[in-house]
Amino acid sequence: MPEVTDTTVEINVLGLRDLTPAVGWVPVNKPFVKFDLNSLQVPGEEVKIRNIQTMPVETGANPNINTVLRFEMKMPVDPLFCPALTAAVYDYLFMGLSQPLIGTFVIELGEILHKV
């Protein structure tokens, strides 16, 4: 098992750009980002992390979010073993009754956190 260390991860979500609607005839309403922190869990460790998300506030296809998300996790020292953080963008339609998926993306944490 690779050597791990406690790490504080801080993500500054500035905004989203050029979003296309999930439902063809309904424009993008209030998009938000949901980060899947379960993808960062070290195998064999107790699950202490929950999923986190930004709040759906600004409307339109180019919303400014300006949110800082901060959490602690065990990160492998070797960047080769670092996990990837997966995230999904959802829309907040009809007062939250419908939250269709707009898209997904992946952040390779090993490439970002271990740069010198």
> Whole domain around residue 14: which residue ranges?
4-113
Q: What is the CATH number of the domain that holds 39?
A: 2.60.40.150
pLDDT tens digit sequence for 20-66 = 998 788 899 999 999 988 877 766 666 566 788 999 889 999 999 99
In degrees, rounded to 5, the angle at the alpha carbon of residue 26 between the alpha carbons of residues 37 and 16 is 40
> What secondary structure, in 3-state letters, does 64-104 show?
EEEEEEEEEEEEECCHHHCCEEEEEEECCEHHHCECCEEEE
- pTM here is 0.84
Number of domains in the chain: 1
Closest CA to 73 of 1, 17, 8: 8
